[in-house]
Amino acid sequence: MAHRPVDPNQSFPDLEQEVLQRWRERDVFRESLRRRQGAEPWVFYEGPPTANGRPGAHHVLARVFKDIYPRFKTMRGHYVERKAGWDTHGLPVEIAVQKKLGIENKKEIEEYGIAEFNRQCRESVFEYLEEWDALTERIGFWIDLGDAYRTLDATYIESVWWALRQIYDKGLLYEGHKVVPYCPGCGTALSSHEVALAYRTVKDPSVYVRFPVVEDGGPLQRGDELLVWTTTPWTLVSNAAVAVDPELTYVRAKTGPLEAPVVLAEALVERVLGCDDVKVLERFPGAAIDGVRYEPPFSYIPGREYGERGHSVLLGDFVTADDGTGLVHTAIAFGEDDFQLGWRYGLNVVNPVRLDGTYDERIGKYAGRFVKDADADLVEDLRARGKLLKSEEYEHAYPFCWRSGDPLLYYAKPAWYIKTSQLRDRLLAANDSVNWHPEHIKAGRMGNWLENNVDWALSRERYWGTPLPVWRCEEGHLHCVGSFDELEELSGVRLEDPHRPYVDEVGFPCPSCSGRMQRVPEVIDVWFDSGAMPFAQHHAPFENAERFGARFPADFICEALDQTRGWFYSLLAISTLLFDRSSYENVVCLGLILDKDARKMSKSVGNVVDPWTVIDEYGADAFRWYFFTAKQPWDGYQFDTERVGDGVRFFLKQLWSTYSFYVLYANANAIEEPPAEPGTELEAWILSRLGDATETVTRGLDEYDTTTAGRAIAAFVGDLSNWYVRRSRRRFWDGDPAAFGTLRECLLTVAKLLAPFAPFVADELYDNLDGSEPSVHLCDWPAPRPRDLDLERDMAVARETVRLGLSARTAAKVKVRQPLREAVVVAAGRERDAIEALADVVREELNVKELRFVERADELGSYEIKPNYRTLGPRFGKHMPAVAEAVGSLDPAIVADALREGRHIGVSVGGTDHEVGPDDLHLRLEPLEGYQLEREASHAVALDLSLDDDLRREGLAREVVHAVQNARKAAGLAVEDRIALTLGGDGELLDAARTHEAYVSGETLAVEVAYDGDGKGEPATIEGLELRIALTRA
RNA sequence: GGGCGAUUAGCUCAGCCGGUUAGAGCGCUUCUCUGAUAAGGAUGAGGUCCCAGGUUCGAAUCCUGGAUCGCCCUCCA
């Protein structure tokens, strides 16, 4: 037998296991690379996941999109290397280890020992590696896991050091004193993307505090009170100054309950003081009170410590009158604006808060308390001392540490930065060269982010990460080490493991003075690690410089939308810093997966989908197919496992049963490799449609649009199964080579088109139908067959005719099994030609003896003429209503005739004559009452419903055949089994069967038919008459 | 608070460089075909294309404003 028999009820998950086994045995992935060695590379970069957690459905999403395009490009002839990668450093890893060890903070880590702590991190990072590898293989994501880059490898780290040295040499790496979001629990500053992870809406105190003016100045007098608003009372102890907007109008106002006049923005008087009893004494711009001195709310830190302008009014352009009082409390160490303002006025940074988030000894009785917890007592203190105007609650979004859950403090700290803001224009230019999918990311999300670029806060005061390769001596001289060789030259030490704590122990003499250099304590942001992968994965430039050069930039990367600020940015920033260009050309940006009720998947809600359950139930192909075709991936998914099942039922099963149909009859007819030459119009048509599908799929994948591409495959398979095969079954029973050749060609091409989408089922089809290569994935992408557009259009008309005819049958309640004498088709010109050319198909499908054409439907209905707005609109513009009216008043019969002959029609609009052609008008048939007629536009089908005895007998014969077929099926016979048939029962039925005995025996594969079956066999009922059917395998 | 995106049938989604009757599939009615298909075909019900304005001869489509949802950003003191 030429083909393996196919189980029509094949389980796809089982099938996939077999295919996986075949891929392993035949080493298909590596072979697909070997065959393209030397071909033009198409470069893919893997954005490294972290393997310290279980992979979820969203990882499957990313990984199947990372798979489909490399498979496609490989089939298109490119050499597509796929090097895997793992992100291994960072706080999440440390947190996991801390949890495991029961360690709460940095102090305890150091007591535990950095060496052992980092050893545990190194282990933990690959805790779920096996599951990642297993899932990766199971979903058919072809990537070289054996040659994965890992950010913890010494070679990788050395490349990162090289990159930092380049940046340092350009003067773009610096230590700054900046206000950063700081987590007192983790003891580290957070990057902006970490901050973004956990904003929560919280209620904080909202207090209005009175700051008495201590000397007359401008419009103010000693004793007046500045009204200052804040939501962080804990920062009031280090109040350094008050900021006002120089342009904004302020007032000095007297209000009933208060003795002294108060100062605030005019726009906020009503909201802050209430509307009653307020007397405005003065109005003046903020600039008028520049320099006014006041008494701070707490006296722990004397004004002189801040410098000349301590505890005075400063001018700041960030002040608004949207909230508060228009006078802004400024605490230099705890806010970016505050810090900037202080810097401009030369104020000193005084920070009375320790790294653990508690006040230091300068803050008297509050010393040692966690600052956020002191809010309430501080407010009480103010109230007791008569400094408070009022205190409320304020609801706003406040950032928390995404790991520890502690509230973040904005905090002035020394940190290392990369001066990316200096390269803003270059970053924008690099971004401009990228093709984003979807397109709006470029100018939108990514573009906006780059426009507002701030320097990259690079350093982390942590342990498990790439050490910042900066050494410093006691004099403050700096040296950035760019390689292990250099470090060895300087220090005489060759590092086995460049991680902390070993690297911390390496010191060397300062090149500039007599001091000794030690490394600064920080490690770097993990995003710098992953962003360095284009060269670091190859240990370039130390090794493989050429290899790197040939694989830079990437043609394609793909990650979820949240990487805009993550990997997409770090890749872009690093390559712009080093090479002044983007490291990628095409990006597919995937949306988030929500559950079926559109809620975000989270462990706490318990709605996380375990990918294995989906794969076990429906298979990897189905899972992939869902992601590729359910919708455009960037809009995100409302994931419902049942939708995955739909794809199996309506697409994969349909394809599978078409395939099993082929194999069944090809084997039955001993057909092996039939020629793909069309024998009929129907075959020419399906091959033309195949060309169409090939073009659409190719274009779709070229444009990173799997949705359109995949849906085109499904549409084609629908046509193949529901029209071509359905209308051609007899030819397969008869063993017609052209039919087999056509269907095989279609299935094999579908297998190739489908290979990147559903690599398992595609390979199974290919292997069983052709198999000349070890796998479909080693084949070339199919070239589109030539189209026959006229034929495609004709077939559409014929199918429409059939639809109308069937509809007419339904309306007349006449079964399709009952043959009818004639269908009257109203059609002319090209439509008529089309239907005539495909008359056999139409007749068979409608089960009518004849098609009769009428050009004019006068006896069936009347025409109505409608203007074609699409063509006439642009021509006539605002005269369209008049045109529509003119068209409406034409004589339909005359117009119909004229159009049929292709003549133009004259219409008069506003006294001017115009000509309109056939394309400018739509004809629409209005049926007369009393006719059984189905119509669409100018095209209609009517049925002759009169029956004579012959037709009736023929109908009954078909009923008999139908009943016998059911009996065959019930008896469990194979489709090719011959039978001996014995019929009995009602005389009219037997008479019909006898009359059409050749037909009956041919259809039912009966080698003999007897009519003496009364009382024998299984009873069946046809139109109320009894039929007895007895059959045996002959 | 700012930016970006989304909102079309019960469900999942097309359509959207304006063209007058808004589509598909699923689900649901009714009927039906079958020597591959727990399939197919026909049929019916089901839509204020989120809302309100505007531009236009004509708006699901373009503009403005708003609502809701999602994501991202944001020290708003």
**Nucleotide at minimal C1' distance from the A724 CA:** B40
Other Cβ atoms closer than 10 A to A436: 22
Contact A288, A313 (CB under 8 A): no
pLDDT of residue A929: 45
CA closest to B27 C1', residue: A646
Q: What distance in Å separates the CA atoms of residue A1029 and residue A967, rounded to the nearest whole number?
A: 7
The spacing between the Cα labelled CA in A589 and the C1' in B5, in angstroms, equals 13
**Nucleotide at minimal C1' distance from the A733 CA:** B35
Residue A391, beta-bridge partner list: A207
Tell me which H or E stretch contains A425: helix A424-432
Q: What distance in Å separates the CA atoms of residue A837 and residue A860, rounded to the nearest whole number?
A: 24
Residue A751 one-letter amino acid = A
Count the residues in chain A: 1034
The spacing between the Cα labelled CA in A880 and the C1' in B8, in angstroms, equals 28
Cβ-Cβ contacts under 8 Å for A994 (sequence gap 6 or more): A1011
Residue A508, beta-bridge partner list: A517
The spacing between the Cα labelled CA in A803 and the C1' in B44, in angstroms, equals 16
| Pair of tokens at residue A936 | 């669409």
Which positions of chain B lie under 7 Å from any protein Cβ?
1, 3-6, 12-14, 19-21, 25-26, 31-43, 56-58, 69-77
CA closest to B40 C1', residue: A722
* Cα torsion A196, A197, A202, A204: sign: negative
C-alpha dihedral, A176 to A178 to A181 to A184, nearest 10°: 80
3-state secondary structure A556-625: EEEEEHHHHCCHHHHHHHHHHHHHCCCCEEEEEEECCEEECCCCECCCCCCCCCCHHHHHHHHCHHHHHH
CA closest to B26 C1', residue: A646
| Pair of tokens at residue A712 | 């085109």
Q: What distance in Å separates the CA atoms of residue A425 and residue A421, rounded to the nearest whole number?
A: 9
* Cα torsion A139, A143, A147, A149: sign: negative
Question: Can you give the pTM of this predicted structure?
Answer: 0.84
**Nucleotide at minimal C1' distance from the A871 CA:** B19
CB neighbour burial string for A654-686, b if at least 16 within 10 angstroms, e if fewer: bbbbbbbbbbbbbbebebeebebebbbbbbbbb
Contact A153, A56 (CB under 8 A): no
Distances (CA, A) of A269 to A273, A325, A746: 6, 8, 78
**Nucleotide at minimal C1' distance from the A725 CA:** B36
The spacing between the Cα labelled CA in A649 and the C1' in B61, in angstroms, equals 34
- Which stretches of chain A score pLDDT less than 50? 928-931
Q: List, by residue number, the catalytic residues of A.
A: 48, 87, 527, 563, 567, 600, 603
**Nucleotide at minimal C1' distance from the A228 CA:** B77
Residue A906 phi, psi dihedral angles, 5° rounding: -90, 135
| Pair of tokens at residue A317 | 């352009």
Q: What distance in Å separates the CA atoms of residue A450 and residue A431, rounded to the nearest whole number?
A: 9
3-state secondary structure of A282: strand
Edge to edge, the sheet with strand A1006-1010 lists A1006-1010, A979-985, A1025-1033, A1018-1022
Count of alpha carbons within 13 angstroms of residue A931, beta-carbon side: 19
The spacing between the Cα labelled CA in A937 and the C1' in B58, in angstroms, equals 22
The spacing between the Cα labelled CA in A397 and the C1' in B67, in angstroms, equals 22
| Pair of tokens at residue A836 | 């005539």
Q: What distance in Å separates the CA atoms of residue A191 and residue A184, rounded to the nearest whole number?
A: 14
The spacing between the Cα labelled CA in A591 and the C1' in B71, in angstroms, equals 9
Per residue in A283-326, pLDDT tens?
898 888 888 999 999 988 888 888 888 899 988 777 777 777 88
CA closest to B2 C1', residue: A448
3-state secondary structure of A157: helix
Q: What distance in Å separates the CA atoms of residue A457 and residue A472, rounded to the nearest whole number?
A: 19
The spacing between the Cα labelled CA in A638 and the C1' in B62, in angstroms, equals 30
**Nucleotide at minimal C1' distance from the A564 CA:** B72
Residue A642 one-letter amino acid = E
Closest CA to A978 of A955, A957, A995, A1002: A1002
CA angle A590, A591, A593 (to 5 degrees): 120
**Nucleotide at minimal C1' distance from the A660 CA:** B36
Closest CA to A188 of A569, A464, A530: A464
The spacing between the Cα labelled CA in A879 and the C1' in B54, in angstroms, equals 22
Strand A1006-1010 versus strand A979-985 pairing type: parallel
The spacing between the Cα labelled CA in A602 and the C1' in B6, in angstroms, equals 22
3-state secondary structure of A395: strand
Contact A198, A402 (CB under 8 A): yes
Distances (CA, A) of A552 to A243, A345, A436, A773, A882: 50, 47, 18, 32, 63
**Nucleotide at minimal C1' distance from the A268 CA:** B77
Q: What distance in Å separates the CA atoms of residue A416 and residue A457, rounded to the nearest whole number?
A: 6
